[in-house]
Structure 1
Amino acid sequence: MPEHIPNGPYAEGEFAGRTALVTGAGQGIGAAVAAALAARGAHVIATDRATARATDRPTDRASECTTGHEPGAVAPRLGTITPRTMDVTDAGAVSRVIDETVRDLGALDILVNVAGILRTAPVAELTDADWADTFAVNTTGVFHASRAAASHMTARGSGCIVTVASNAAGIPRTGMAAYAASKAAATMFTKCLGLETARGGVRCNVVAPGSTDTAMQRALWPEGRTEVPPSVIAGDPATYRTGIPLGRIAAPEDIAEAVVFLASDRARHITLQELYVDGGATLR
């Protein structure tokens, strides 16, 4: 008989006994991913480079988690979230945190790369610093965390890595060349890593969000605006940007649900894939 695989939209406790590390977990999509994994039983190491959003205190705290079914709904307190300060651009710091996680908790089952920055400008106005900083976080950061995690996972014979990239990696965007290029590089890196580690029992996949209601997205809106600008939904011909067929931008929880699926045993035969979660904006 085939082994049982948890199913249904919310498999309560499906990550019980597993350890996950999430980068960029201090806010937005990263925070939603950490909450969603903990809601399903995982012990989550929630890392962020901002000390205001993460702390090196080792005490675990029970997570108050939201699900993707009802925005704001409180899920059962099944898992835990341990905040850690970690800068993904610092290879030594990344290796240290991941090594300590494996030493203290016995294994690292899941890595989710979410940390990212956005610097917008036409290419002619893009500074060397903006280009370098963007790649340092969005691409090299993914490399640092994935390399360190994959070595432990392959030695153990199992594991899952999910990189949160962007639909900008697959379609040109004006004013976003550095961001789009960095996310495209992170996407291909993750797929190549997945090919190399597949026989070691490690699955590597990519989630590509479109416009999502985060601080990064709101920074693109006119100053003081709190509602989604119409052009984000309807598109903007002047910038060659299509609209969103579903008529809404994503909530962070929408992206987290896709990540959780790919990290779960329900996706045990899925690797090297790129899942667009953008309401149809890229017409894929």
Structure 2
Amino acid sequence: MVLITGASKGIGLKVVEKYLASGETVVATDREIENLNKYSDSHRIHWLKMDVTNRTEVKRVIDKVESEIGEINIFVNVAGIFKSCPVEDTTIEEWTKIFEVNTTGVFNVTQAVSDRMKSRKKGSIIVVSSNASKYPRVGMGAYAASKAATSMYTKCLALELSEYGIRCNIVSPGSTNTDMQKQLWNGSKIVPKSILNGDLKTYRLGIPLHKIAEPEDIAEVIFFLASDKAGHITMEEVTVDGGATMGV
């Protein structure tokens, strides 16, 4: 059985669809789960409301899943928030919120899920980070820092869980066709040239493949890394950004 956070849209929703198509039972969680009736006719999906920043709620949901639905064999953490803001203009409230969701939220759920996996000595955990964790970016001090922290946390978690046969890997997307990405487009429906070609003013690298990713591209990598086909891969970070970070 697969547990997914941040499942109601974007990459998370494509991960849900990928696993449903493969025949898996899916527990899809998000802070808001309304307006998802298109999936309600499937007996293999369970939508549960869960705020990853609320440790009490996380524990309650994980307990409910394990006791009423089934064992969590795969956990995919997609939940995350984004805000672009210069460091000097970032409020402590904004900084704290970004880290609460992007870093502490990952800690909360992986701790609860891995505790169950350890007793069974099996499981696969995938954490969605960002290629922003690799390079400094103008206007992304809080976001990039939260993702860098999350990536390193996941590698440390992978090391500690390896003796239990549990694999932990990271998928780091670059620019992807999601609502989060479109926050940077100033209302445009067309991908700005500054994203595809780079922007010297902001020290932004371009994308060698000259296109942004679709959510399906990220979901495919997640699906592979979580599967038995990647059974000897752990502690790795796979960057899916069309070459924007030059393979670093």
Report the 3-state secondary structure (helix = DSSP H, G, I; strand = E; otherwise coil) of the residue aligned with 1:162.
strand
> Partner of 1:243 in structure 2?
206
**What is the identity, as a one-letter code, of the residue corresponding to 1:262?**
L
Change (3 A) 1:154 1:181: same
Cα distance in 1 for partners of 2:12, 2:33 equals: 15
Residue 24 of structure 2 is aligned to residue 42 of structure 1: yes
> Partner of 1:254 in structure 2?
217
Cα distance in 1 for partners of 2:170, 2:190 equals: 29
> Partner of 1:282 in structure 2?
245
How far does residue 253 in structure 1 lie from its aligned partner after superposition?
A: 0.4
- Please give the per-residue CA displacement for 1:201-230, whole angstroms capped at 9, x wherever unaligned: 11000000000000000111122x111111
> Partner of 1:230 in structure 2?
193
Cα distance in 1 for partners of 2:30, 2:129 equals: 17
* Alpha-carbon RMSD: 1.5
Cα distance in 2 for partners of 1:53, 1:81 equals: 15
> Partner of 1:205 in structure 2?
169
Report the 3-state secondary structure (helix = DSSP H, G, I; strand = E; otherwise coil) of the residue aligned with 2:103.
helix
Residue 125 of structure 2 is aligned to residue 192 of structure 1: no
- Please give the per-residue CA displacement for 1:37-64, whole angstroms capped at 9, x wherever unaligned: 1211211111010243569xxx9642xx
* Superposition map of 1:17-28 within 5 A: 19-28=1-10
How far does residue 80 in structure 1 lie from its aligned partner after superposition?
A: 2.4
TM-score, with structure 2 as normaliser? 0.96
> Partner of 1:164 in structure 2?
128
Cα distance in 2 for partners of 1:216, 1:60 equals: 25
Cα distance in 2 for partners of 1:240, 1:61 equals: 48
Aligned length: 246
Cα distance in 2 for partners of 1:28, 1:163 equals: 15
> Partner of 2:181 in structure 1?
217
- Select the residue among 11, 30, 38 that pairs with 2:12: 30
8 Å CA contact retained: 1:261, 1:267: yes
In structure 2, stretches of 5+ residues that fail to align are none
**What is the identity, as a one-letter code, of the residue corresponding to 2:23?**
G
TM-score, with structure 1 as normaliser? 0.84
> Partner of 2:139 in structure 1?
175
- Please give the per-residue CA displacement for 1:33-90, whole angstroms capped at 9, x wherever unaligned: 11111211211111010243569xxx9642xxxxxxxxxxxxxxxx822111100000
Report the 3-state secondary structure (helix = DSSP H, G, I; strand = E; otherwise coil) of the residue aligned with 1:84.
strand
Cα distance in 2 for partners of 1:61, 1:194 equals: 36
8 Å CA contact retained: 1:159, 1:201: yes
8 Å CA contact retained: 1:47, 1:54: no
> Partner of 2:82 in structure 1?
118
Cα distance in 2 for partners of 1:87, 1:269 equals: 32
Cα distance in 2 for partners of 1:26, 1:106 equals: 21
Cα distance in 2 for partners of 1:53, 1:118 equals: 23
8 Å CA contact retained: 2:8, 2:33: no
Cα distance in 1 for partners of 2:58, 2:49 equals: 10
Change (3 A) 1:166 1:182: same
Q: Percent identity, aligned pairs only? A: 50
8 Å CA contact retained: 1:60, 1:80: no
**What is the identity, as a one-letter code, of the residue corresponding to 1:257?**
E
8 Å CA contact retained: 1:169, 1:180: yes
Report the 3-state secondary structure (helix = DSSP H, G, I; strand = E; otherwise coil) of the residue aligned with 2:8.
coil
**What is the identity, as a one-letter code, of the residue corresponding to 2:158?**
G
In structure 1, stretches of 5+ residues that fail to align are 1-18, 63-78
Cα distance in 2 for partners of 1:61, 1:219 equals: 33
Residue 98 of structure 2 is aligned to residue 134 of structure 1: yes
